[in-house]
Amino acid sequence: MSIRVGIVGYGNLGRGVEAAIAQNRDMELVAVFSRRDPASVRIVSSNVKVDSVDNLDNYVSSIDVLILCGGSATDLPEQTKQYAKQFNVVDSFDTHANIPQHFAEVNASAKAAGKVAVISVGWDPGMFSLNRLYAEAILPMGETYTFWGKGVSQGHSDAIRRINGVRDAKQYTVPVESALEAVRSGQNPLLTTRQKHTRVCFVVAEEGADTAVIEKEIVTMPNYFADYDTTVHFISQEQLQREHGGIPHGGFVIRSGKTGPQSEHNHVIEYRLKLDSNPEFTACVLVACARAANRLSKEGVSGCKTIFDIAPSYLSAATQEELIKNLL
Amino acid sequence: MSIRVGIVGYGNLGRGVEAAIAQNRDMELVAVFSRRDPASVRIVSSNVKVDSVDNLDNYVSSIDVLILCGGSATDLPEQTKQYAKQFNVVDSFDTHANIPQHFAEVNASAKAAGKVAVISVGWDPGMFSLNRLYAEAILPMGETYTFWGKGVSQGHSDAIRRINGVRDAKQYTVPVESALEAVRSGQNPLLTTRQKHTRVCFVVAEEGADTAVIEKEIVTMPNYFADYDTTVHFISQEQLQREHGGIPHGGFVIRSGKTGPQSEHNHVIEYRLKLDSNPEFTACVLVACARAANRLSKEGVSGCKTIFDIAPSYLSAATQEELIKNLL
């Protein structure tokens, strides 16, 4: 029998989950839930219902896992703990400092309801976290480095758009190649923020705006740009749409560590993602974790889990025999 | 309280495990067991006992996990199932075709004894297997590629050494850079054996041996070399020792897959290992899995497990709070 999935929230991430479910033959999309008027929400799957989040109660017996596709700022801190009272849930909560609180609240809800909630999955947090954990467990004497990009940072793009005279903008985070090489060489370099990443901005200015003023405001912006080498390109709206319309991202987790009686041998573990679509890849991780949530729930497990707590085989649709034969 | 570990077998792998245990503060090496006369086995740790495998019975209550460091050809098929009757065990059994049978036999022993046995861990099988599983679970529409090297293949080096007129030899497996690039680009190329790896051999010939004959025998050897582009260099024993004395290895697991309603987006997941010492890195994975075996056993779990069956956090010495704070 298929795993029956519901999607809550239909932005880029929700659309990505819809597409990912279609690629997994053991999964079935039951409905997409929105806070908007369902009649106004057009989804890709022609045979799937769109309903209001207010009607979720009606789906308790027909949905195995709800995948929550809201944002980490305001949606998920409320939704995950709420929906975990009735459903197994999966979210991509990524406000790192607040994960312990989110975990505690969701855990309380899910435990009380006998449901499984998998939080903070995606690629970072998510696959990058996993790779940090495995690499540090294997090589306890070493250093771990995370590099992001080349990819679009939504937060930094938004920050530029808030500047007076800016009509639109896209910001790319770019890892510094020489820093990557130094890390890969096993030197375990100490790297400042500026040495690890550069920031490249494509900005559409309002007509008559002073681009020199905008550029200065960008490159000196505290937290977002002041600590980085930042390049600003002013381009037309058309060019922005044509050349920078995608949402690519990715990055690197690299751990370099020593082994041997005299720590004489060096080892480098590198995990790299190169993603054409950040939300679609995140969606794929959410869907694999939905499979795990369903299986854990069927085994009688309850409470909040992270990707650290889930045996890898639970993410796969393959049987143990297939996994051993084809992948071990 | 420390996890009390015993090592069975004191070759390169056993020495690697000894060094790895010293890097993990939650672990303690109780004894090294050998089939040789214990008096003839000199180990690095001055305060640790060397004993005969025949005396293992005496350690049932003082050892939490036995790490089995024998070979896959003849040692582990006998040892793992045997020692799992008394101890939690971890092995690096890597004869791929025989893993299902090994699993079944070890599982029967371990289940009957209420012990945990973790088999076939290391980097391939092991970390590479894990990365194949995660990548395929996340991107079901795609292709997975495994490349090995640059590194020393013990089996191929041995095959050369068996040729008449060869005194010593080292064989490196080298991934073809253009094949790697084609895979990374997301083209999902069909690659023949010859297109993926080359083989580079450093051979010390006996005095008076016909090197042309040796070279021909190497490059035409079925299974080992005939399907590859192989280069043979004849060098002196001194040069072999000086320049090729190490046991480096590593490789790449790359999965490239499509997402989106029209499969319009491409994603590349790449995991790379660059290892100065193949046995020491394998040893590090064994030790992390010994931690997991101990924890599973304390929870009342029994039977045979692979790396696929173990929640990642079980490999780490850190608490859940630390993992969430520092690595998620």
**CB of A325 closer than 8 Å to CB of A132:** no
Is the CB of A247 inside 8 Å of chain B's CB atoms?
no
Chain A residues in contact with B18 by the CB 8 A cut-off are 261
Is the CB of B272 inside 8 Å of chain A's CB atoms?
yes
Does B276 contact A284 at a Cβ distance shorter than 8 Å?
Answer: no
Is the CB of B125 inside 8 Å of chain A's CB atoms?
yes
Q: Which residues of B94-116 are buried (b: 16+ CB within 10 A; e: fewer)?
A: beeeebeebbebbbebbeebebb
Residue B26, pLDDT score: 98
Residue A153, pLDDT score: 95
One pLDDT digit (tens) per residue for chain B, 328 residues: 899 999 999 999 999 999 999 999 999 999 999 999 999 999 999 899 999 999 999 999 999 999 999 999 999 999 999 999 999 999 999 999 999 999 999 999 999 999 999 999 999 999 999 999 999 999 999 999 999 999 999 999 999 999 999 999 999 999 999 999 999 999 899 999 999 999 999 999 999 999 999 999 999 999 999 999 999 999 999 999 999 999 999 999 999 999 999 999 999 999 999 999 999 999 999 999 999 999 999 999 999 999 999 999 999 999 999 999 999 9
Q: Please determine, for residue A1, whether its predicted confidence score (pLDDT) is greater than 90.
A: no
Chain B residues in contact with A23 by the CB 8 A cut-off are 140-141, 259
Residue B286, pLDDT score: 98
Does A261 contact B313 at a Cβ distance shorter than 8 Å?
Answer: no
Choose the closest CB to B19 out of A22, A259, A284.
A259
Residue indicated by tokens 């791929």: B96
Long-range Cβ pairs for the range A195-198 (8 Å, 24+):
A196/A145, A196/A147, A197/A147, A197/A148, A197/A149, A197/A173, A197/A228, A198/A174, A198/A228, A198/A229, A198/A230, A198/A231
Residue of A nearest to B131 (CA): A327
Does A260 contact B272 at a Cβ distance shorter than 8 Å?
Answer: no
Mean pLDDT of A214-229: 96
Whether ipTM exceeds 0.95 = yes
Q: What is the pLDDT of residues A10-62, one digit of tens each?
A: 999 999 999 999 999 999 999 999 999 999 999 999 899 999 999 999 999 99
Q: Would the pTM count as exceeding 0.90?
A: yes
Does B313 contact A268 at a Cβ distance shorter than 8 Å?
Answer: no
B206 is written with which tokens? 């006996």
Q: What is the pLDDT of residues A164-197, one digit of tens each?
A: 999 999 999 999 999 999 999 998 999 999 999 9
Mind telling me how many Å the CA of A237 is from chain B's nearest CA?
A: 23
Choose the closest CB to A284 out of B259, B306, B311.
B259
Does A265 contact B277 at a Cβ distance shorter than 8 Å?
Answer: yes
